[in-house]
Structure 1
Amino acid sequence: MAAERERFSTATRLRALGEQAAARVYRAQNRRLRHGPRRSRLTGRAALLALVLCSLVVALAYPTRTYVSQRSDIAEERRKLSETEERVAELRELKARLQDPAYVERLAREHLHYVRAGETGYIVQGNADDEADRRERQEADRETADRAWYRTFFDGLDRADRP
């Protein structure tokens, strides 16, 4: 083959290449004419399929959002239910303790300062809580001293109306 190539002149080789190129162009034109003009890849069916898929996505977006929202609402209600059940358990425990007369007596002694017949009750004045209340009153008195008398008067009326 190498010897054959050497035998032909450059002009002969160029002519052969030109003929090959012309044959390729001729074949391509025949193919185009036989198959008609080249159509785009997006056919009518593909466009319809894309339209159907888009409409499905749009149609399912709202129900999906509603579903997710309802699931979060359900989770919130379950959390509230568990908190309520815990509170009910605490109240049942308190109810059971209040059935015990010794516990009720202890509460009456602590909170209401009850004493039994023959006992002497003592109340110690000036504990830490009373000291804090006294300081609060002093600060409130200092604040009201700087205000007009009628504002202090109406604030006192408002406080008297509160339960």
Structure 2
Amino acid sequence: MLVLVLCSLVAILAYPTRQFIAQRSEISAQRAKAERATQQVEQLRKERARWQDPEYVKAQARERLHYALPGETPFVSVDPSPPATAQPAPGAVAAGPAARSAVPWYTNVWDSVALADAPAAAGAAPGAAPSTAPVPATR
């Protein structure tokens, strides 16, 4: 009879004990999250205080925006020999927004008209979807 009472007590207390342990771990996780948020707020307050200093603002404007004070001559140093990886291979088609900005807009329009007017590729079957291959730029 005593074993039956002990087993029933264990069964009755198992679920609340498990919930208690789960809630304790959740509370500690929330406390850690609150501590991280507090640290982040403190860091942002320090950053805001730095931006209130006019000298810091001037330094950031000079560094990030390349501003110069009146009477100064601003300049940007450029490496005369770019790295080998930045140079495209001869005959390669330039792609991306930087390459498109080097070509006048009307050249891109004319190239798209020429592409639309060109016959389908020799290997394409009639009724097949058009190719999405890049079109070489003509100058």
TM-score (norm 1): 0.50
Q: Deviations over 1:34-88 (max 9, x none)?
A: xxxxxxxxxxxxx2x2212111101111111111111111111111111111111
Aligned to 1:70: 23
Shift in CA distance, 124/78, structure 1 to aligned 2, threshold 3 Å: same
| Compared CA separation, residues 83 and 152, structure 1 to 2 (3 A) | farther
Please identify the structure whose Cα radius of gyration is greater: 1
Deviation of residue 119 (structure 1)? 1.1
Corresponding residue for residue 7 of structure 2: 54
Q: How many residues matched?
A: 96
5+ long unaligned stretches in structure 2: 96-130
Aligned twin of 1:118? 71
Partner in structure 2 of residue 160 of structure 1: none
Q: Counterparts of 1:70 and 1:61 in 2: how far apart (Å)? A: 14
Aligned equivalents of 1:113 and 1:137: distance in 2? Answer: 26
Listed one character per residue, the Cα deviations across residues 76-121 of structure 1 (whole Å, up to 9, x for unaligned) are 1111111111111111111111110000000000001011122111
1:135 maps onto 2:88 in alignment: no
RMSD of equivalent CA atoms: 3.0
The TM-score, its normalising length taken from structure 2, stands at: 0.58
Aligned to 1:150: 132
Structure 2 letter corresponding to 1:70 = Q
Whose relative contact order is higher, 1 or 2, with alpha carbons under 8 Å and at least 6 apart?
Answer: 2
Cα distance in 1 between the residues matched to 2:35 and 2:63: 33
Structure number with the higher helix fraction is 1
The 2-side partners of 1:65 and 1:120 are apart by: 71
Separation (CA, whole Å) in 2 of partners of 1:136 and 1:71: 56
Aligned CA distance change for structure 1 residues 80 and 116 (closer, same or farther; 3 Å):
same
Cα distance change, pair 150–97 in 1 and its aligned pair in 2 (3 A):
same
Taking the aligned partners of 2:44 and 2:87, their CA distance within structure 1 comes to 36
Cα deviation digits, residues 7-40 of structure 1 (max 9, x gap) = xxxxxxxxxxxxxxxxxxxxxxxxxxxxxxxxxx
Letter in structure 2 aligned against 1:85: T
Gaps of 5+ in 1: 1-46, 154-163
Residue 33 of structure 2: which of 80, 92, 95 is its match?
Answer: 80
